[in-house]
Structure 1
Amino acid sequence: TSVNGDERTIFILRKQGVFGTSSFFTNETRRSFVIALSKCEIISIDKEIVNKYISINPNFSLCIIQDLS
């Protein structure tokens, strides 16, 4: 939402898309307002779990980097 209160479409996430990955690299909580255009499933993954998975599977970090680019 803009300063005037206008809503804007910033990005349309496709099937199996992710958002909020930048918060894995900061100490800030990601706060997003999202409206689903169709039925979907949203999950929240704890940062510590992501870090543990990256240590087990380093290729996973490449997926996060690709999402950030």
Structure 2
Amino acid sequence: QTALKVFPNPTTDVVYIQSDESVYIYSLSGKLVKKIDAAPKNITVSNLEKGIYFVKSKNKMVKLIKF
């Protein structure tokens, strides 16, 4: 089973995403806002509006709070 790690959560500017698979960030309304290829990544989220987002890989999902 592939791990999906997202931290810090909640966040304001940058989030670290660790996954062996591609990862997708969706808004609460279901709109795809960002796609991240596999491998650990520091992702800038300061351009995203405050709110709740879902970080999904093939088999995992993590709720991300941006404030």
TM-score normalized with structure 1 length: 0.26
- Highest relative contact order (Cα 8 Å, sep 6+), 1 or 2? 2
Higher helix share: 1
Q: TM-score, normalised by structure 2?
A: 0.27
